[in-house]
């Protein structure tokens, strides 16, 4: 029963993402093909969403497309995110100070999920999508999350998870990665240099809000970030101090 519920939820999400990829109305047979499910199963899913007002039909083409109801619901949800709402103003300030992309992320299982991302104003910049999952071992925020473990637990955890090589710069040796994370913990800043995206450097710091451990990162092209590393660290630490002062008030 539990597995069936999870499968049904995955199909709904796959259907929504199918429209995002196609960028057009789709017939039930096209949706069934994209979701790799029988047409009969897809028909029931589409019929339910039509009844709830999340899809509308295009009779002449026997196709369907999402209504704004999904967008409006998502917009309201995003506007009241308990973490993002509290940090958006400070994240905007950090983006304006550094002119690079600012990312808010939190651990989710053995990955980091991006909760918010504010792109920098420069033409060449780091970009990603909110909701993306990034590996713990190759992302700056992931290293921040791993650094919350004590040394024994960290070493044990690194030896148990798959350290996939995302780029040629990804640290996949347990001892090397352990040393890198513990150095970052001592410095108060975790760094990746082309370990998650080949030409991107990121620096991240930990933040605690209401008992939740989260990470905030600045990311941009290596050629630009490496020359401004000290300045970026300065702004990240100032960001931390403002949050600490605000939470203590």
Cα 68 to Cα 161: distance, rounded to the nearest angstrom: 41
- pTM for the full predicted model: 0.76
Q: How far is CA 143 from the centre of its chain?
A: 14
Per-residue HEC secondary structure of 167-212 comes to: CCCCCCCHHHHHHHHHHHHHHCCEEEECCCCCCEEEEEEEEEECCE
133-135 sheet: strands from edge to edge: 133-135, 111-118, 101-108, 212-221, 200-209, 190-193
How high is the pLDDT of residue 61? 62
In the CATH hierarchy, which top-level class contains the domain 81-248? alpha beta
- Return the pLDDT at 249: 58
Q: Any residues with CB less than 8 A from the CB of 115 and at least 6 apart, and which?
A: 81, 83, 84, 104, 105, 106, 130, 214
Query: How deeply is 45 buried, as exposed, middle or buried, from its count of CB atoms within 10 A (0-12, 13-18, 19+)?
Result: buried
pLDDT of residue 208: 86
Cβ atoms of residues 100 and 132 within 8 Å: no
Which pLDDT score is estimated for 71?
A: 85
The parts of the chain modelled with pLDDT lower than 70 are 1-5, 60-61, 248-249
Q: Backbone phi, then psi, for 167, in 5-degree steps?
A: -135, 175
CA-wise closest residue to 31 among 69, 63, 3: 63
Residue 162: exposed, middle, or buried by beta-carbon count in 10 A (0-12, 13-18, 19+)? exposed
Cα distance between residue 142 and residue 215, in whole Å: 8
Q: What's the helix, strand, coil split of the chain in %, to 5? A: 50, 20, 30
Q: pLDDT at position 1, please?
A: 39
Q: How would CATH label the architecture of 2-72?
A: Orthogonal Bundle (1.10)
Report the pLDDT value the prediction gives residue 143, as an integer from 0 to 100. Answer: 97
Residues 240, 232: contact at Cβ < 8 Å? no
Kindly list the domain boundaries of the chain, sorted by start residue. 2-72, 81-248
- Do domains 2-72 and 81-248 share one topology? The answer is no
With tokens 């401004």, the residue in question is 228
Token duo for residue 11:
């199909």
- Alpha-carbon distance 137 to 174, whole Å? 10
């Amino acid at each position: 029963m539990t597995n069936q519920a999870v499968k049904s939820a995955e199909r709904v999400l796959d259907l929504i993402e199918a429209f995002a990829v196609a960028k057009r109305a789709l017939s039930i047979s096209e949706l069934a093909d994209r979701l790799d499910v029988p047409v009969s199963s897809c028909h029931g899913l589409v019929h339910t969403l039509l009844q709830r007002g999340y899809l509308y039909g295009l009779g002449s083409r026997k196709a369907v497309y999402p209504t704004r109801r999904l967008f409006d619901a998502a917009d309201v949800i995003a506007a009241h995110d308990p973490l993002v709402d509290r940090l958006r103003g400070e994240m905007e300030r950090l983006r304006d100070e550094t002119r690079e992309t600012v990312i808010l992320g939190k651990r989710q299982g053995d990955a980091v999920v991006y909760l918010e991302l504010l792109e920098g104003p420069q033409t060449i910049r780091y970009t990603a999508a909110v909701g993306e999952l990034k590996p713990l071992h190759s992302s700056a925020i992931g290293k921040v999350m791993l650094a919350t473990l004590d040394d024994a637990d960290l070493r044990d955890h690194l030896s148990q998870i798959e350290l996939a090589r995302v780029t040629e710069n990804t640290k996949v040796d347990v001892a090397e990665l352990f040393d890198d994370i513990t150095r970052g913990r001592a410095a108060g800043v975790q760094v990746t240099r082309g370990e998650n995206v080949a030409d991107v450097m990121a620096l991240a710091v930990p933040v605690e809000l209401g008992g939740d451990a989260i990470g905030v990162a600045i990311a941009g092209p290596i050629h630009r970030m490496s020359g401004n590393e000290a300045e970026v660290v300065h702004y990240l630490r100032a960001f931390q101090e403002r949050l600490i002062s605000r939470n203590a008030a």
